[in-house]
Amino acid sequence: DVKVTQSSRYLVKRTGEKVFLECVQDMDHENMFWYRQDPGLGLRLIYFSYDVKMKEKGDIPEGYSVSREKKERFSLILESASTNQTSMYLCASSEVWASGGAPGGETQYFGPGTRLLVL
Amino acid sequence: DQQVKQNSPSLSVQEGRISILNCDYTNSMFDYFLWYKKYPAEGPTFLISISSIKDKNEDGRFTVFLNKSAKHLSLHIVPSQPGDSAVYFCAASRGSGSARQLTFGSGTQLTVLP
């Protein structure tokens, strides 16, 4: 069974603070993803990583950065938290997909989420 | 511009009846579609998927139908059970760059009434 864990279930931070959200997966997956979930907007991709030290921007990267120093760990960093970053943050992982390969291996497995409140 | 749309934010169904959740997409490059289920305070869990080369995939009580010409897919749950009450997200995938990404719809809250 794939297990994706996130360091905190709930966080309360102040505006301007630097915030670290940690995610760990135990299935040796190459790909890891960070999303935020907001009512009426579904899940929106912030950043993803397809290998150690590699990262790519998703749809809403502004105000966020990421770090992937080890294969199993993917961190999301809010450099200076703002109230509009109050949200549910979800981490996911998936197997590697070879460019041009058949689809199907991209099923993503999610962690339980971190609910972040920025005051 | 939402490329994957779930136009019904909520759906209520009686236990034992069929639940039909709908999803529309606009990008013809999507070639793989997935449904996820999410309970409160938990992450989404994968439910069922379908490749664009198929028009139907079935797994127990869950069936996904794909109509490529209409860019529409639907999830059928028969019979519906109270434990099926959750938010259901439709997602679509396309190959681009270094990893296949998923684009999610906004979700439909399904409530199955006992």
- What pLDDT, in 10s, does the model give residues A54-65? 899 998 999 999
> Is B17 in contact with B11 (CB distance < 8 Å)?
no
Q: Which residues of B touch A33 (CB under 8 A)?
A: 101
| Residue A17 distance to chain B (closest CA, Å) | 25
| Residue B46 distance to chain A (closest CA, Å) | 7
Over the stretch B51-82, which tens digit does the pLDDT of each residue have? 888 999 999 999 999 999 999 999 999 999 99
CB contact under 8 A, B43 and A103: no
Quick one: closest CA in A to B37, which residue? Answer: A110
Least Cα distance to A78 among A93, A68, A94, A89 occurs for A89
- Mean of pLDDT over chain A: 90
* pLDDT band, very low/low/confident/very high, at A97 (cuts 50, 70, 90): low
Per-residue pLDDT, averaged over A90-111, amounts to 73
What string of DSSP letters covers A41-97? TEEEEEEEEEETTEEEE-S--TTEEEEEEETTEEEEEESS--GGG-EEEEEEEE---
What string of DSSP letters covers B32-93? EEEEEEE-TTS--EEEEEEETT-SEEEETTEEEEEETTTTEEEEEESS--GGG-EEEEEEEE
Chain A contact present for B53, CB below 8 A: no
